[in-house]
């Protein structure tokens, strides 16, 4: 096909075929090339969009650098899992609907944390005040 297009458009050897056939060939070649580039870029985007929200602590521990959001709501936690402190890229931590009564001081080491949901836990007012002082003002805390 490429030889036909070359012969039709760029040489003095002309066959009796109409010019539109050469342009049609060029169009289809261009469409195939663009489709290939589109598939390549989509694959790159999909790789970037790896799972960053985890609902299970064991799954999250397998890829700690990917954990952006950790949702451990309704998991019957009574003690804050210390493993959470190893997720350096953690931005959102959801611990709602558990039986937590306190949070360790080390939670302030989660430098990227911007959201903490502790709603529906039996946390005292004194502990809530301590947690607010412990975390930066940028962290939105829900009790």
Q: What is the pLDDT of residues 21-66, one digit of tens each?
A: 667 777 778 777 877 777 666 665 555 556 899 999 999 999 999 9
Report the 10 Å Cβ neighbour count for 64. 15
9-18, 36-45, 120-129, range with greatest mean pLDDT: 120-129
Backbone angles phi, psi at 138, to 5 degrees: -75, -20
pLDDT of residue 28: 78
**Domain segments of the chain as ranges:** 2-48, 53-142
CATH code linked to domain 53-142: 3.80.10.10
Strand pairing report for 53-54 and 115-117:
unpaired
Q: Can you tell me the mean pLDDT for 12-21?
A: 63
| C-alpha torsion angle, residues 14, 19, 21, 23 (rounded to 10) | 120
Of 21-30, 90-99, 115-124, 131-140, least confident by mean pLDDT is 21-30
- The model's confidence at residue 92, banded by pLDDT at 50, 70 and 90, is very high
Render pLDDT for 70-81 as a digit per residue (tens, 0 to 9): 999 999 999 999
pLDDT of residue 34: 73
- Residue 140 belongs to what H/E stretch? strand 140-142
- pLDDT mean across residues, the chain: 86
Q: What's the burial of 105, exposed, middle or buried (CB within 10 Å: 0-12/13-18/19+)?
A: exposed
pLDDT of residue 78: 97
pLDDT of residue 40: 65
Check whether 19 has a pLDDT greater than 80. Answer: no
Check whether 136 has a pLDDT greater than 70. Answer: yes
């Amino acid at each position: 096909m490429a030889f036909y297009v070359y012969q039709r458009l760029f040489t003095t050897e002309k066959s009796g075929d109409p010019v539109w056939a050469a342009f049609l060939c060029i169009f289809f070649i261009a469409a195939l090339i663009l489709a290939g580039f589109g598939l390549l870029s989509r694959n790159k985007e999909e790789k970037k969009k790896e799972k960053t929200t985890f609902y299970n602590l064991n799954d999250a521990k397998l890829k700690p650098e990917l954990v952006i959001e950790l949702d451990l709501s309704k998991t019957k936690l009574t003690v804050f899992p210390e493993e959470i402190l190893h997720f350096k890229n953690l931005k959102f931590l959801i611990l709602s609907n558990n039986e937590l009564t306190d949070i360790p001081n080390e939670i302030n080491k989660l430098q990227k944390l911007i959201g903490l949901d502790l709603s529906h836990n039996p946390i005292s007012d004194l502990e809530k005040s301590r947690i607010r002082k412990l975390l930066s003002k940028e962290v939105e805390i829900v009790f």
